[in-house]
A and B are shown apart, each in its own frame.
Chain A
Amino acid sequence: MFRLQGSKVLAVDMTGDAVKAKNGSMVAYDGQMAFKKLSGGGEGLRGMVTRRLTGEQMTVMEVKGHGTCWFADRASEINLVGLQGDKLYVESSNLLATDAGLRTGTTFTGLRGASQGNGLFTTTVEGHGQAAIMSDGPAVVLRVSAQYPLTVDPGAYIAHQGNLRQSFQSGVTFRTFFGEGGGEAFQIRFEGDGLVYIQPSERNTIAGDV
């Protein structure tokens, strides 16, 4: 059972069940807790190989026990996402905790990943349960529908869920090469039906420099 205590601390009440959380993100707990490192990214040997190849290796720990455990990471804002069988795509650096029942994996994102400064792969979370994602500043959830496609800055993108197609847009013109670019050379365009999570801050990306 996930709940927020303030906007920056996640409290998880546990009764013998387990959650997966970012390594070292526990700030306090009461009751009895056990911490075990998991090799994040995916399950089994295949997951391990994928992680090694993709570099999307989030270090995850499994927390199990009775009581309440509080999580926080570098004063980031925390957002709760409920999953009912759908899939959440999130940067591994923005994923704080998930229910143990949720499956995590890695997918290829293509050029978009590189423009976000996050590598070519992203983490997926799938199943029924709750996940907590982090953002630098309070996140905004934007709905994308068939009539309203959405274009976002790669540096501000943190996660998306639902049935979305993404494409990569470039606004590079001859001005960019003269150092006269507007700092918005690349964008990601989402089409379909789903939700996109945006943070009010931009990571350092190649796109931001040109």
Chain B
Amino acid sequence: MAFREINSKMVEATVLPGQRLFSQRGAMLAYKGEVSFTPNMQGGQGGIMSMIGRRVANEATPLMSVEGSGTVLFGHGGHHVQVINLTGDTLYVEADRLLAFEGTLQQGTMFMGSQGGVMGMVRGQVTGQGLFTTTLKGHGAAAVMAHGGVIELPITPQRPIHVDPQAYVAHRGEVRNKLSTALGWRDMVGRGSGEAFQLELSGQGTVYVQASEEKL
């Protein structure tokens, strides 16, 4: 386990020789030992094609790779940090929420439209998540940022979860998401309850929800 939560807003990462770590650029707070930080032009793993993919998908947050041996403290903007350990499953998260992740995780970009077709694209627009999202797959840990604390809600086939798009942080597992609307005549005449759109997550997995409706 590479990340240790120091408090709710800082994580300590252990860097060992030969084990690479990626983090959002400028998120290092302090470090001990011989650690080098290299800005990563490609914004993550993979070759030039992956880089172009991320640029096109607008999921290219400036990353740096952290190498050497020692410990590094990460934190950013006073946001709460949640460490998520992956054991072979896939984590779906917005690139700008990703504080740091282990190099053993395979980074990818997913087209949201591939889930739910046209509605998928509408969903991306409505939720402000855009059309693409970042995926992390494999064995390792990732540190994800959220405004306010994070709660974990399990999703089972019998128990789908509806989430406010603004409070959605990330999800993992075999989860299908779709945008459900509860638009009624009340919304048309400006008497809506402010809960017109919800992300419906169904399947098997976990969703992470923040205690706030503010974006980072």
- Contact surface of A with B, Cβ cutoff 8 Å: 5-9, 23-31, 33-37, 59, 61-62, 70, 72-75
Contact = CB atoms under 8 A, between A and B. Distances in A.
B194 interface: yes
Given A6-B151, A35-B182, A74 B212 contact: yes
Interface residues of B, number: 28
Contacts of A26: 164, 195
6 contacts: A25-B213, A26-B195, A37-B186, A61-B194, A61-B195, A75-B147
A65 to B, nearest CB: 11
B211 A72 contact: yes
Contacts of A6: 149, 151, 211
Contact of B148 (A5, A30, A74): A74
A70 B186 CA distance: 23
Interface stretch (B61-69, B120-128, B155-163): B155-163
A9 B151 contact: yes
A47 B122 CA distance: 39
Contacts of B198: 29
Contacts of B161: 28-30
Contacts of A7: 149
Contacts of A33: 162
Interface in B94-108: none
B209 interface: yes
Q: Chain A: interface secondary structure?
A: strand
Nearest to A74: B212
Contacts of B153: 28, 30, 70
B192 A37 contact: yes
Given A72-B212, A75-B80, 13 more contacts: A6-B149, A6-B211, A7-B149, A8-B211, A23-B193, A24-B193, A24-B213, A27-B164, A27-B209, A27-B213, A28-B164, A37-B191, A75-B148
Interface of B: 80, 147-149, 151, 153, 159-164, 167, 182, 186, 191-195, 198, 207, 209-214
Contacts, number: 88
B165 to A, nearest CB: 10
A61 B159 contact: no
A23 B193 CA distance: 6
A27 B211 contact: yes
B149 A75 contact: yes
A24 B195 contact: yes
Nearest to A11: B151
A27 B192 CA distance: 16
Nearest to A69: B162
A145 to B, nearest CB: 34
A73 to B, nearest CB: 7
A141 to B, nearest CB: 21
Contacts of A9: 149, 151, 209, 211
A13 B153 CA distance: 14
Q: Which 8 A-B pairs have the closest CB atoms?
A: A75-B148, A24-B194, A8-B211, A27-B167, A61-B193, A72-B211, A35-B193, A75-B212
A80 to B, nearest CB: 15
A5 B160 CA distance: 19
A72 to B, nearest CB: 4
A6 B149 CA distance: 8
A116 B214 CA distance: 25
A37 B194 CA distance: 8
A61 B211 CA distance: 18
Contacts of A61: 193-195
A121 to B, nearest CB: 23
Contacts of A5: 151
A25 B200 CA distance: 17
A9 B161 CA distance: 16
A72 B148 contact: yes
Nearest to B150: A6
